[in-house]
A and B are shown apart, each in its own frame.
Chain A
Amino acid sequence: MKLTGAQIVCESLLKEDVDVIFGILGGQILPLYDTLTQYPQLRHILTGHEQGAAHAAEGYARATGKVGVCFATSGPGATNLVTGIADAYLDSTPIVAITGQVGRPFIGKDAFQEIDITGITLPITKHNYMVTDVADMAKTMKEAFYLARSGRPGPVLIDIPKDVQVEQTEFSYPSKVDLPGYKPTLTGHPSQIAKAAKLIAGARKPVIIAGRGIIISEAYDELKTLAETAQIPVITTLLGISSFPESHVLSYGWLGMHGMAYANMAVTDCDLLIAIGMRFDDRATAKVSGFAPHAKIVHIDIDPAEIGKNVRVDVPIVGDAKTVLKSLNKLLLPQEHTEWLHQLDIWRKEHPSLSIRDSEGLLPQYVIRKIWEVTKGDALVVTGVGQHQMFAGQHFFYDKPNSFISSGGLGTMGFELPASMGAKIGKPEETVWCIAGDGSIQMTIQELATVSRENIAIKVAIINNNYLGMVRQWQQLFYEKRYIATPLHCPDFVKLAEAYGIPAQNVKTREEVVPAVQKAMAMPGPYIINFEVEPEENVYPMVPPGASLHEFIEEPRKEVPAWSRRSIL
């Protein structure tokens, strides 16, 4: 039986185990949308803006490990996806974006809503396609999903001219792909792994840096075995948060510009760095020439192009984190690093980066900590970008694998609300806390309509300081407090939420925090809390731009109240 291009897209989505699509329709993707009426198994979530659709697909993908799917029409629909696609590219998130395109006779004529979206997304997709012959439709879908999820995951875009959507051909879904130029290396080279094992055996002050690669390949147990067998402290990257339980005795927080002081000190002082599934981003390494100056570096990553890109590497191992760690663990002998771990504990006592000072006003750190306490850590935390993101990374403690979803590489403000929607739809049984900034959430605030219409039971905590807070912090520290363009004039978020039909409340004092969070948890549907926090609170520690990791600035502090200390300290 012959199927149309649009039907082939839908059949392929079913073959790829897709159950939800985020998107917005328009003229050039109408045939595909019309065909969706024949496929009730494919749930379509209409978003308020295509950027929201792309981030929702990301949130879905990040929470489930499956490929997220979004649809958009040609022209502005497609260009609105671009930020989300770029975000997915930098954070290695598997999404497939399908865009409508003007019919083939109109291509190149600057037709209404025609734009070269494959050209535009060339540098921000793992691969992209324009399907000019319906005979290629099924093969393209198969390849797109395979590319998106395999190797180092990433976004793939498929542009489909309107007339290809209605053209018919015989449908058969290929059982395998034929991509001679694409063969990801999964197994690490045995002699390289042996070299790494030898370095581990000889190290006195080893450190593991765990990145998002651990989460992508679900190498949680293998990482734990490595750390426990050789008694190596584990530090994560920002996106590596929740790759290793933070209550574990070998967990020492995360590194980088706003990482914990002791984590940064450990990386600077270590003699062996085992970096797994991470890419030495500049926010993680700080000044590269001052990064881990005494260390031999073992770098395990599935993407060969990441090896030696930013940082010199002594033992590169190209492969999948889980597979490589399995082989590596077989070569390990039990070790002790009592002295080194003791040193880290001393640094952690001397530099309690996660303590929260006493304050009359409502501190953002306090809000996050209380959300952690009330949820007992059993939640997916999704953040936007800015100060609230760093506080959420610092003051919520992540024991649950893959429970921190944040925009890392691209640093996309506005990520939190749509990504939370995607995460909640992908994992309906989980409590999803959307930790939002007042500036950040306003970049995609129209998605409140989606939350309301689809009754997506996310809990939103707006950390509202009435500033673009992270930039204000930079202005305060490095631009002599010239607060240009950072003060906001936020709307009344409670009234706004109510206008969208979502219950909400304000919180201005410490006493109100826990009851509000409890109320949010008790509500069956979505709930929004606007936390009016100290407007000029800063994120510490901070490694100033241009400095090395250990040259962090700490919060000027007096005494540390007992309640804010972590139990393991």
Chain B
Amino acid sequence: MVSSQHIITAMVADKPGVLNRVASLFRRRGFNIESIAVGASEVPDVSRMTIVVDGATTLVEQVRKQLDKVIDVIKVSDITGETTIMRELALIKVKSSAATRSEIMQIVDIFRAKIVDVANDSLTVEVTGDEAKVTSLYNLLKGFGIKEISRTGVIGMTRGGTPQVVSEEELSKR
């Protein structure tokens, strides 16, 4: 992973338009989003966003502070540099024939990925891992011809001991 990447997690109220508020803020301030992923968190009615920004083109401290100003954003953390677990899921539909199928399957095996769909002329691979792993599998499969790819964008959290959850104090005020 390139060192200038910053991973920002934001706990946000699960309300209509919150993603719009965050996206609008990035657009308006000229911040570049590399990826953004949103899903439910461990707290009811609170979602967790994972946003990857390129620190070389964006003032990360400003991103953090501006995000914090959004009323529906409850907590923002820049978890870059902490011991984090980062994962991305990708579905890759790769061209295959009788001649190439087993070779593709071997590669998929090495990456501990899965074949989730087989057709006469293609295999669909499901892979989970950090961004680098997904990208290297993609690069290897490129030689066979990629028909389609869909990536989720990175989600992340810090390892045990430093949980990025809403604090009890904040929870008590909810």
Contacts and interface: CB of A to CB of B under 8 A. Distances in A.
Residue with the highest number of chain A CB atoms closer than 10 Å, among B24, B68, B69? B69
Contacts of B21: 122
B165 to A, nearest CB: 13
Contacts of B173: 178, 180
Contacts of A122: 17, 20-21, 24
Interface string A124-168: 001100000000000000000001000000000000000000000
B62 A123 contact: no
B45 to A, nearest CB: 10
A181 B65 contact: no
A181 B71 contact: yes
B13 interface: yes
A180 B24 contact: no
A119 B24 CA distance: 9
A482 to B, nearest CB: 32
B49 to A, nearest CB: 13
Contacts of A127: 71
A180 B62 contact: no
A180 B69 contact: no
A182 B170 CA distance: 11
A308 interface: yes
Nearest to B72: A181
B68 A305 contact: yes
A181 B76 CA distance: 10
A309 interface: yes
Given A127-B71, A180-B166, A308 B24 contact: no
Nearest to B170: A180
Nearest to B10: A181
A304 interface: yes
| Chain A interface extent, by class | 10 to 19
B19 to A, nearest CB: 12
Contacts of A225: none
Contacts of A308: 61-62
B13 A181 contact: yes
Nearest to B62: A309
A305 B29 CA distance: 12
Nearest to A304: B65
Interface in B125-147: none
A303 interface: yes
Contact of B69 (A119, A179, A303, A307): A303
Interface in A81-129: 118-119, 122-123, 126-127
A118 B17 contact: yes
B114 to A, nearest CB: 39
A305 B75 CA distance: 15
Please give me the 7 A-B residue pairs with the lowest Cβ-Cβ distance, nearest first.
A305-B65, A181-B74, A127-B71, A123-B28, A180-B74, A122-B24, A182-B71
13 contacts: A118-B17, A122-B20, A122-B21, A122-B24, A123-B28, A180-B166, A181-B70, A182-B71, A304-B65, A305-B66, A305-B69, A307-B65, A309-B62
Given A118-B17, A181-B72, A182-B71, 15 more contacts: A122-B24, A123-B25, A123-B28, A147-B71, A180-B13, A180-B170, A180-B173, A181-B12, A181-B13, A181-B70, A181-B71, A181-B73, A181-B74, A305-B62, A307-B65
